[in-house]
Amino acid sequence: MRSLLFMSVALLLGACSTFDDSDSQTLASGNSLPSNSAVNYLTQQIANELVRQNDQLTSKQALLVATPVLLDDLTTTNPLGLQIQQGLITAMHDHQFNLVDLNVGENVSVTNEGELLLTRDWRKLPADLPVEHVLVSTMSLSMDMLVVNSRIVNVTNNRVVSAAASSVGVAQLPGYLRMAEKVTSKDGKLHRNSQPGQADIQIIGANQ
């Protein structure tokens, strides 16, 4: 059994609470939430379920929130995945978890754009982080919804200590999701359907 995992700065792992009908209706029309607010609401529900299912992690133990990735390859993310990650950080902190931010550089960079500490440049990040628990998430697409699965994993033994699942449709996240067009691109190939909406929904801003 591994005693402790020192998280590599190249970490990009993949992660979920369930919406009931009333939750979906609230997102769709109840409060007419802006897209970012709807993402925050989604991540709050995921966090609530993760807390309910948690059987090991305590507030004294460090937790890292990894970037959500697409389920079919476990390496690719997109603008929505990045926003879900930020929402999960906020929501889990609201539950008093001890969070570690992987994107904090070792030094402040003073530039013409301002004084910057957050970075995705691995050369500016600390080499090791003593973390035993990681919140990972995966995203999968169907013709009418996005499914997000999240789990907290103890990386010393790969044990899942909590898990949750949720789904959201285009109507709930119009700023991030859209129905497939008649002609779609996947893996560098064009696919023509008889009408729009016959392929998996698309994430706006993602590489197709």
Q: Where are the domains of the chain?
A: 5-174
H/E element, 199: none
**Tokens standing for residue 122:** 């691995």
pLDDT tens string 160-207: 999 999 999 888 888 899 877 655 555 565 545 555 554 678 888 676
Token pair listed for 176: 């991030």
pLDDT 10s digits, 45-72: 999 999 999 998 998 899 999 999 999 9
Residue the block writes with tokens 């729009």 = 196
The highest-confidence range among 7-16, 33-42, 88-97, 105-114, by mean pLDDT, is 88-97
- Positive or negative torsion for Cα 54, 165, 2, 75: negative
Which residue, 93, 78, 90, 75, is CA-closest to 42?
Answer: 90
* Three-point CA angle 62, 65, 71, nearest 5°: 140
- CATH code for the part of the protein at 5-174: 3.40.50
Do the beta carbons of residue 41 and residue 61 sit within 8 Å? no
Task: Give me the chain's average pLDDT, please.
Answer: 78
Q: What is the mean pLDDT of residues 86-97?
A: 95
User: Would you report the helix, strand and coil content of the chain in percent, each value rounded to 5?
Assistant: 25, 35, 45
